[in-house]
Amino acid sequence: MCGIVGYIGKQKALPIIIEGLKRLEYRGYDSAGLATIGDNEILITRMSGKVAELEKALPADIDNGSLALGHTRWATHGEPTERNAHPHKDCEHKIALVHNGIIENFQAIRTKLEQVGHKFTSDTDTEVLAHLIEEMFKYTGDLVDSVRLALKEVDGAYGIAVISVHEPDYIIVARKGSPLVIGIGDGEHFVASDAAALVRHTRNVVYLEDGEVAVLTRDNFTTTTIDNVEVEKTVHEITFDIEQIEKAGYPHFMLKEIHEQPDTISDALRGRILFEEGDVKLGGLSDVIDDLRNAKRFIITACGTSWHAGLVGEYMIEQYARVPVEIEYASEFRYSNPIITENDIVWAISQSGETADTLAAVREAKLRGAKVFGIVNVVGSSIARETDGGVYIHAGPEIGVASTKAFTSQLTVISLITVMMARLRGMSITDGYKILSDLKSIPEKVKGILDQSEYIKDIAERFSFARNFLYLGRGYNFPVALEGALKLKEISYIHAEGYPAAEMKHGPIALIDENMPVVVIATHDASYDKVMSNIQEVKARRGKIIAIANDNDSEIDRYANYVIRVPETLDLFSPIISSIPLQLLAYYIAVYRGCNVDQPRNLAKSVTVE
Ligand code: AGP
């Protein structure tokens, strides 16, 4: 959701804040702002729109001291206008604050504060915090205590950073539910909602935990609980490079990330396959092998694209390991009063590791006594830290809001888990070897599909004016149909639906006419013949068929208007292969429609609110 950057040190703060905000813009991009401390008052510049607009709007004479806060917003309460942009301040312009999250009881607090004379200037939930801190300061005269007391009054989620003329050499930060990372430099400290904003300046970071408050000065930082109990923090090292969060000559992060997939899939496999043993070694699960062996049921929980990866996982694990699997949307799971026994294992899948619903599902499952494991991309993220074990997918930073490389890396890791589980439950070395050999060949196969980009671009141009799209797949490729439709709708704003192919005749078939493009995943797997029948049903109604089919399939040419060829694989890996052309198709359609591919409207990369 929103992005936060703060700096206190010896350099000019504003260039650091602007650069950091640009790196965080994928988190939210409807308005932006920053605050510095001037002559006994807070100075704020805010704009609706992108960080570039904010940069242009900065007054030439703006105080450019060595302390500032910045924010890029994804609106929850109040329209994305200048008055609702962060930072927000108190009545006296002495305190400024940026916030990521939602203050759920803001209305009640606001009413009370208005009754004692506070004047509000925005429609946001955040502004109440600035006034609440102001109110507490009247009684305590201590800024850090006032922040603590104010936070005790609020329900909901927050990552905040506060500056004030009362303590002009402090940045106070606090977290509950929304990520914050502190960067440690030499005579300087940084704070951000994502390490991507810090990596240019430092590799040493400290992750704030829920319920913690930290005070950053130039030379030091101290962390306490909200009740003022001191907390010892561990310094971690950021492992990714600056190049990984830049576009490397591609016009968009999404295209770069699609093209990175041969490497990211290899990275997800690296050092994890034991060919001679037909087995897999996953360090993050080695201590819990007995739990996995004895598990009676898996529950997979996730949101969006990660949920689609989980759905493929259900098919894989049930087929090969014969463990019953349930897949639940995290947002539903947390409120469904789930039945969990001690023999159940809950898997949380999340690229960011910060998705509020998935994190809440993890906590709910733990509360009910389950062992919870994560399949996560962002190292050190909340889900990675709060689970009992798990596997990193090692896809590197994913900046494009539409998830691409994280999806195929999630599938790769779930494939490894499948083999591991199947071997624990009696699969032979030979069968394990066969599956792993095919998995090892996937990166090369993905390269071959990427080589067809021009052809896919050509198809995209023809369909860029479509108003609707239908995606059909069966078995392993039903989740791919869902994922293909999600990719298209989120970046091109074309209405798209994914369906199990056989379900088409139970309703969606009514939509098909000569204007309806239907993408069908028709690779040679167990349901190939059935999918061919579904294709004929579409053709009979003059729908336009774009088929994803195997290289050696000549039959398909008789029915499909366009065929995108993909190499053969074992059925379980077909989703990794088939999703690549669908990513490219969505990408090029969005580009032809002039859409902002990396930052589609209304979306944000990491959904840290409910
Ligand atoms: C994917 O393209 C989406 N932007 C979105 O569905 C995403 O997958 C979802 O919000 C879950 O995010 P996570 O993997 O970071 O938890």
Start-to-end CA span in the chain (Å): 11
- State the pTM of this model: 0.84
Q: How far is CA 494 from CA 179, 235, 534, in A?
A: 32, 45, 23
Cβ atoms of 426 and 420 within 8 Å: the answer is: no
- pLDDT tens readout for residues 39-68: 899 999 999 988 999 999 888 777 678 999
Q: Which of 26, 301, 355 to mutate to test the pocket of ligand 1 (most atoms within 8 A of CB)?
A: 355
pLDDT category at 335 given cuts 50, 70, 90 is confident
Query: What's the gap in Å between 487 CA and the centre of ligand 1?
Result: 11
> Phi, psi (5° rounding) for residue 328?
-130, 135
Output 110 or 242, whichever has higher pLDDT: 110
pLDDT of 463 reads 97
pLDDT in tens, 235-272: 999 888 777 778 878 999 999 999 999 999 999 999 99
Give me the pLDDT at residue 63, please: 65
Give residue 216's pLDDT.
98
Residues 155-180, mean pLDDT to the nearest whole number: 95
Query: Which strands make up the sheet holding 212-216, listed edge to edge?
Result: 88-89, 95-103, 156-164, 171-176, 212-216, 221-225
Residue 526 has pLDDT above 90, yes or no: no
Q: Is the pLDDT of residue 330 over 90?
A: yes
The pLDDT of 360-368, averaged and rounded, is: 94
For position 205, what pLDDT does the model report? 96
Are 373 and 348 within 8 A, CB to CB? yes
Q: How far is the CA of 180 from the centre of ligand 1 (A)?
A: 19
Q: Which of 1, 74, 303 to mutate to test the pocket of ligand 1 (most atoms within 8 A of CB)?
A: 303
- From ligand 1's centre to the CA of 69, what distance in Å? 27
Q: What is the pLDDT of residues 555-589, one digit of tens each?
A: 999 999 999 999 999 999 999 999 999 999 999 99
Output phi, psi for 473, to 5 deg.
-160, 160
For residue 402, the ligand 1 atom closest to its alpha carbon is 2
Instruction: Please give the pLDDT value at position 608.
Output: 76
Q: Which atom of ligand 1 is nearest to the CA of 378?
A: 15
Burial of 412-421, coded b for 16+ CB within 10 Å and e otherwise, reads bbbbbbbbbb
Atom 7, ligand 1: residue with shortest CA distance:
304
Give me the percent of the chain exceeding a pLDDT of 90: 82
Query: Which residue is listed with tokens 């059925």?
Result: 571
Average pLDDT value for the chain: 94
Q: Is the pLDDT of residue 71 over 70?
A: yes
Distance from the alpha carbon of residue 263 to the mean position of ligand 1, in angstroms: 21
**What is the predicted pLDDT for the residue at 66?**
94
Q: Which atom of ligand 1 is nearest to the CA of 404?
A: 2
* Active site residues per annotation: 2, 605
The conformational region for residue 258 under phi > 0 = left, psi -120 to 50 = alpha, else beta, is alpha
The whole-number pLDDT of residue 610 equals 73
How remote is the CA of residue 599 from the centroid of ligand 1, in Å? 13
Q: According to the model, what pLDDT value does residue 140 have?
A: 97
Pairing of strands 544-550, 279-280: unpaired
Is the confidence at residue 338, as pLDDT, over 90? no
d(CA 85, CA 76): 11
List, in sequence order, every residue forming a beta bridge with 384; answer none if it has no partner: none
Question: Given ligand 1 and candidates 308, 487, 607, 609, which is best to mutate, with the most ligand atoms within 8 Å of its CB?
Answer: 607
CB 13 within 8 A of CB 191: no
Question: Which ligand 1 atom sits closest to the C-alpha of 606?
Answer: 15
d(CA 394, ligand 1 centre) in Å: 16
* The pLDDT value given to residue 30: 84
Residues whose CB is less than 8 angstroms from the CB of residue 596 and which lie 6 or more positions away in sequence, other chains included: none
Least confident of 95-109, 242-256, 293-307: 242-256
Q: Out of 30-34, 138-142, 224-228, which region has the weakest mean confidence (pLDDT)?
A: 30-34
- Residue 105: how many other CB atoms lie within 10 Å: 13
Nearest CA to ligand 1 atom 2: 402
How would residue 334 be classed by pLDDT, with cut points 50, 70 and 90? Answer: confident
* 267 CA distance to ligand 1 middle (Å): 21
Nearest CA to ligand 1 atom 5: 304
Can you read off the two tokens belonging to residue 450? 């990427």
Strand segments (E) across 320-385: 325-329, 344-350, 371-376
Q: Which one of 26, 258, 300, 306 would you pick to mutate in the ligand 1 pocket, going by the greatest count of ligand atoms within 8 A of its CB?
A: 306
What per-residue confidence (pLDDT) applies to 408?
98
DSSP 209: P
**How many angstroms separate the CA atoms of 431 and 419, rounded?**
9
Q: How many residues does the chain have?
A: 610
Measure the CA–CA gap between 128 and 88, rounded to whole angstroms.
9
Please state the rounded mean pLDDT for residues 435-442: 97
- Ligand 1 pocket, CB under 6 A: 303-306, 350-352, 355, 358, 401-403, 490, 606-607
The 10s digit of each residue's pLDDT in 501-517 is 888 889 888 899 999 99
pLDDT tens column, 201-221: 999 999 999 999 999 999 999
- Whether residue 149 is predicted with pLDDT greater than 80 in this model: the reply is yes
Ligand 1 atom with least separation from CA of 302: 16
For the CA of 401, the nearest atom of ligand 1: 4
| Rounded alpha-carbon distances, angstroms, from residue 461 to 497, 566, 594 | 20, 20, 12
Query: Who contacts 291 (Cβ-Cβ below 8 Å, separation ≥6)?
Result: 345, 371
Q: pLDDT tier at 396 (50, 70, 90 boundaries)?
A: confident
Encoding tokens for residue 42?
Answer: 């807070």
Q: Are 196 and 166 in contact (CB under 8 A)?
A: no
